Structure 1
Amino acid sequence: MDKNLKDTISAAKNLQKEGLIYLNDSIDLEVEPNYQILAMIIHNLNDMIDREKYELVKNDEKKLIHELALLNFNENDLICDDDVEIMENMTREYIDILDPILYEDVCVFFPKAGKLAEIYGKASTQIEEGKFKNIIF
């Protein structure tokens, strides 16, 4: 067996043991995330930005997403471009950046309702199918 394939399968099995993914026992190696974990990650995204900073980047979607992504890291964290890119993708996919709520000097962004409902539906299905234990409902 190819070493890369063997390492990939081993890594996927370890992720399954941790409850982060579901690995189907077929030859196709079908993998799906634990949607309960994904929902928790979305709820824990730091989605508040200082109003002054927001005013500087609000007309540039790419910069706004980048700034929101950076807010999810502590000042002393060792981060790489891949980490930032993951957070940018999460923000782009799941956070409504078009309609923040202004509260005092802070802009608060909320998850896209339709996306979050879809994730909860998938999480519920995974629980019903016995793929994961219920940890959030």
Structure 2
Amino acid sequence: ENNKHVNDTENTLKRQKTNKKGGPKRDEVWEYFIVDDEKNDRHYPATYYHCEKKWQKGKLRTLKAHLSNECLQCPENISKFWRDKLSTELTNYTRKQKTIIQLPLKQYQITQHFSSDKPLPLAITERIDRSLLKAW
């Protein structure tokens, strides 16, 4: 048990050292997980301390859901903290308006593409008539 705590502390220190790189701030949910080396595209394999459930790609949404609702071995204070945190994130959500980019389009009228004011040639009208009769 004591050895596990030392390993947990070492892992936390390693994470803090690697977190000092430039880029976005690391989410606090990672403090509850043992994190392996990055696999691909900034996704890390993760193992939860209390139940030892493993994820090949530790996605924040999944990890937070596990802490707040799914894990029966998660201490109640941690579970409550993440439930409260997730509920405030949802209530503080504001949707960003999509920026509509209007491209300069040159719109033509259909009559400029087709000779709609002229009758179709006789051969075309006969072919259309035959096709319609076959359909019936």
**Which category of TM-score, normalised to the shorter sequence, fits these structures?**
under 0.3
The structure with more strand, counted as a fraction of residues: 1
